[in-house]
């Protein structure tokens, strides 16, 4: 292998924060992350950790430019969004590191059984997957999977069912201990009664009941990663590899050891655990202070999608200003342009850069407080419909996002070409109309006021009355939290409040840090329960673990991040989407959630406005799950 002579990482330059480039997804917003399970002062702890990370990466020096000609194929680089850092290498994510910018890197080192997304396409990318298409039988209670024979580990051993078995052993231990981030009660591995192995390249899952193959393949099988049992089945670095994980207690010790090592950032480039990979890349350099990571093409890679580059690098930045400086100076080939700096578009275009909006298959939901002090109001379908009529998505897209986004009328956005989006979701069931909102209120017992909130004058549960629990004379006032410091989100929240005022609804805006919202939104009690609408402004993701967008995490019975929403009809449709075959069941639940306004559907901002050096090719079309896919890249010139 040719020596790439990649320079050591240098600290990133710090400056005052600005609008971040990509909207970060909210993988942490999971149903089982209830405030009851969080340590006291969770929001404050998160804030302190973030502050410590930012301070640790500040320095006066600027990143050095890497030559494109260090080796055949060249070395490209990309920037993560401001504040994001690749900081978890193990493809079994814990809660603190459950982010796409970690999993997208790790699945270049450790290939998942099923790779998701491609060049502008949603769904499973079978050509890049270790597993062939699963075969369902026995009334969809049995799933048989064959492994491709052309994948090997760096040590020359083939990727086989023994590596699949090792994954299931560790996953079961992680799910039981609450360490494994993707796990939700009732899901993998608890929905599998047993696994049988038919030699080295085939295994069969026996399920606890029939599941929809579309849902189970997309939202369960995508969790599986073959793991190098010959390197990892031990409990310390100097321990001999054995058959430790074959017992539940042993598997717990092994996953605890691997989690501990994955948290040791200072050893990423030297730890032998991370040297045995089956993916197209291997990690060769890492700076635990700046999070600068260096990868080279794996010379032992035998699978599909071999890299064209000799290597690539990842840079992290504490602000959008620092990222833009690195982009202008040529340190990174692939970066971002914040919407607040769109005036720089002509500069980059005239200096040989391409600018492309990165549309991702995420959605954006304003959570409603079904268990808090405003529950009597948001429980009313007519009021939710009125509120949805006041969300002016086309205006937000045009003026606050400058066209960089998608309309979103349900639990999946209008992503072109995706068969996971119901045809009905391409049309707004409640288009912006103050008049329509006013009509809904007056026809349900509210007296409008020109100077303040409407008041209930006809209490009761009849079709023309205010609804259960709403007393006569009650004001129509709702508190709304929204995340700072995004200027575009603040403008959307203000526009929404202004439209609501015109309709007779008083929206009390309450800007909060997103970390604070994590600790105060969700289900009440515990408190403080002083909100009725919570707008995070960052998308809920679909991808490696949740490919099929049923919104079950948000709106299934017992949910936390749906504000406690529960509707028996919706739950029945949701169960059918899980259990009965076909996409039609998915469409039914999407359509029902949309019409019921389970949450307020909100415009989805693009993940980023990508700014890409003219020498870099193969990056477009972009992956809808925010995966850079550097194996597709080439450098010219």
Using H for helix, E for strand and C for coil, what is the string for 230-261? HHHCCCCCCCCCCCHHHCHHHHHHHHHHHHHH
Q: Which residues have a Cβ under 8 Å from the Cβ of 66 and sit 6 or more positions away?
A: 6, 7, 75, 77, 313, 331
Mean pLDDT of 314-320: 95
The answer to whether residue 65 scores a pLDDT higher than 80 is: no
| Long-range Cβ pairs for the range 202-206 (8 Å, 24+) | 202/144, 202/145, 202/146, 202/147, 202/161, 203/144, 203/145, 203/147, 203/161, 203/164, 203/165, 204/142, 204/143, 204/144, 204/145, 205/142, 205/143, 205/144, 205/145, 206/141, 206/142
| Section 156-166 average pLDDT | 98
Sketch the domain layout of the chain as residue ranges. Answer: 362-605
3-state secondary structure of 156: coil
Q: What is the DSSP string of 378-399?
A: HT-HHHHHHHHHT--HHHIIII
pLDDT at 537: 82
Q: Are 120 and 624 a contacting pair, CB within 8 Å?
A: yes
DSSP 177-216: HT--TT--TTSTTTTEEEEEE-SSSEEEEEESS---HHHH
pLDDT at 68 over 70: no
Digit-coded pLDDT (tens) for 570-619: 999 999 999 999 999 999 999 999 999 999 999 999 999 999 999 999 99
* CATH code for the structural domain at 362-605: 3.10.105.10
Residues facing residue 365 across a β-bridge: 601
pLDDT tens-digit series, residues 229-253: 999 999 999 999 999 999 999 999 9
pLDDT tens for 448-489 read 988 889 999 999 999 999 999 999 999 999 999 999 988 999
């Amino acid at each position: 292998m040719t020596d790439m002579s990649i320079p050591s990482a240098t600290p990133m330059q710090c400056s005052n924060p600005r609008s971040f480039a990509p909207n970060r997804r909210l993988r942490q917003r999971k149903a089982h992350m209830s405030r009851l399970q969080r340590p006291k002062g969770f929001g404050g702890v998160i804030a302190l950790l973030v502050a410590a990370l930012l301070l640790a990466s500040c320095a006066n020096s600027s990143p050095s430019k890497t030559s494109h000609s260090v080796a055949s194929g060249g070395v490209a680089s990309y920037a993560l969004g401001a504040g994001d850092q690749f900081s978890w290498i193990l493809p079994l994510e814990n809660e603190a590191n459950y982010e796409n910018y970690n999993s997208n890197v790790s699945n270049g080192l450790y290939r998942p059984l099923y790779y998701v997304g491609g060049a502008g396409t949603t769904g499973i990318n079978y050509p890049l997957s270790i597993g062939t298409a699963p075969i369902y039988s026995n009334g969809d209670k049995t799933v048989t999977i064959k492994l491709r024979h052309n994948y090997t580990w760096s040590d020359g051993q083939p990727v086989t069912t023994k590596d699949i078995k090792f994954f299931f052993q560790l996953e079961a231990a992680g799910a039981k201990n609450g360490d494994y981030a993707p796990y939700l009660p009732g899901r993998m591995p608890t929905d599998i009664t047993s696994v049988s192995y038919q030699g080295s390249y085939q295994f069969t899952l026996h399920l606890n009941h029939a599941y929809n193959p579309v849902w189970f393949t997309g939202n369960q099988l995508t969790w599986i990663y073959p793991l190098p049992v010959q390197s990892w089945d031990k409990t310390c670095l100097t321990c001999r590899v054995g058959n430790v994980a074959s017992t539940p207690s042993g598997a717990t010790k092994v996953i605890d050891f691997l989690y501990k090592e994955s948290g040791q950032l200072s050893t990423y480039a030297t730890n032998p655990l991370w040297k045995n990979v089956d993916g197209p890349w291997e990690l060769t350099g890492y700076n635990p202070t700046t999070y600068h990571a260096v990868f080279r093409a794996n010379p032992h890679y035998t699978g599909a999608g071999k890299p064209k580059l000799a290597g690539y690098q990842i840079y992290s930045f504490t602000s959008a200003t620092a990222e833009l400086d690195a982009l202008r100076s040529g340190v990174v080939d692939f970066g971002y342009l914040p919407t607040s700096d769109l005036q720089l578009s002509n500069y980059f275009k005239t200096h040989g850069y391409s600018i492309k909006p990165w549309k991702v298959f995420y959605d954006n939901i304003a959570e409603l407080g079904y268990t808090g002090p405003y529950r009597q109001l948001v429980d009313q379908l007519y009021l939710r419909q009125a509120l949805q009529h006041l969300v002016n998505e086309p205006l937000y897209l045009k003026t606050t996002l400058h066209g960089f986004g998608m309309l979103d009328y349900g639990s999946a956005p209008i992503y072109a070409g995706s068969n996971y989006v119901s045809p009905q979701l391409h049309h707004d069931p409640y288009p912006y109309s103050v008049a329509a909102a006013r009509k809904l209120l007056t026809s349900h017992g509210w007296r409008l006021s020109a100077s303040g909130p409407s008041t209930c004058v006809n209490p009761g549960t009849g079709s023309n009355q205010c609804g259960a629990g709403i007393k006569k004379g009650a004001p129509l006032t709702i508190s709304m939290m929204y995340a700072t410091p995004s200027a575009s989100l603040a403008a959307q929240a203000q526009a929404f409040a202004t439209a609501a005022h015109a309709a007779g609804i008083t929206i009390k805006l309450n800007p909060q840090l997103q970390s604070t919202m994590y600790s105060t939104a969700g289900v009440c009690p515990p408190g403080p329960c002083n909100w009725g609408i919570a707008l995070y402004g960052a998308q809920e993701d679909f991808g490696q673990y949740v490919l099929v967008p049923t919104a079950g995490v948000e709106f299934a019975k017992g949910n936390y991040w749906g504000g406690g929403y529960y509707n028996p009809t919706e739950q029945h449709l949701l169960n059918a989407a899980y259990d009965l075959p076909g996409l039609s069941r998915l469409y039914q639940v999407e359509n029902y959630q949309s019409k019921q306004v389970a949450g307020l559907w909100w415009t989805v901002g693009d993940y980023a406005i990508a700014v890409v050096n003219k020498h870099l090719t193969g990056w477009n079309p972009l992956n809808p799950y925010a995966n850079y896919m550097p194996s597709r890249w080439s450098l010219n010139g």
